[in-house]
Copies of this chain bind each other. A is one copy, B any other.
Amino acid sequence: MSSVLHHPPAGVARDLIAARGGRATRTRIAVIEALQACAHPMSHDELGAALDAAGVAHDRVTLYRALEWLVGQGIATRIAGGERAWRFELRGDDSHRHAHFHCERCGQIVCLEDVAVTSAPPLPAGFELDRSELVLHGACADCGRQREGRR
């Protein structure tokens, strides 16, 4: 379930970081590798667990700041979608932005590689578009099959 890299590796974590003039610290490296190894955007919590599993000691705040830096450098992106915590994923080619699916039963966020995000919507005059975010809400395949009334 985690053998699929859904984003191009685009070089080793260390190089990605060094190319931006940042320091290749264990936290940043571990975060990038965790994101590469995971098929869906990860929350802070998930990332924290992944670092623990990888034996990488880390502080909650450090993780926040590492992610902040990765996003600021364009290495990762934040997704709002689900509940009120950010999710993060590595940022692939800009030309290949995809939508996300939020399962309202299990809370999981899934990448919809096939659903492209319309890149040029008709904006009112004066508005400048930076990026678009398309999130579909519903029940994922696993949750959809075992039907329940309540979320």
Contact residues of A with B, CB < 8 Å? 80-82, 84-86, 99, 101, 104, 112, 114-115, 118, 121-142, 144-145
Contact = CB atoms under 8 A, between A and B. Distances in A.
Contacts of A141: 124-127
A121 B138 contact: no
Nearest to A151: B130
A126 B138 CA distance: 11
Contacts of A144: 126-128
Given A80-B80, A80-B135, A121 B115 contact: yes
A77 to B, nearest CB: 11
Contacts of A121: 99, 112, 115, 136
Given A112-B123, A136-B129, A138-B131, A84 B81 contact: no
Contacts of A81: 80, 133
A139 B136 CA distance: 24
Contacts of A145: 126
Contact of A115 (B101, B104, B122): B122
Nearest to A125: B141
A82 B86 CA distance: 11
Contacts of A99: 121
Given A80-B80, A81-B133, A128 B123 contact: no
A136 B144 CA distance: 29
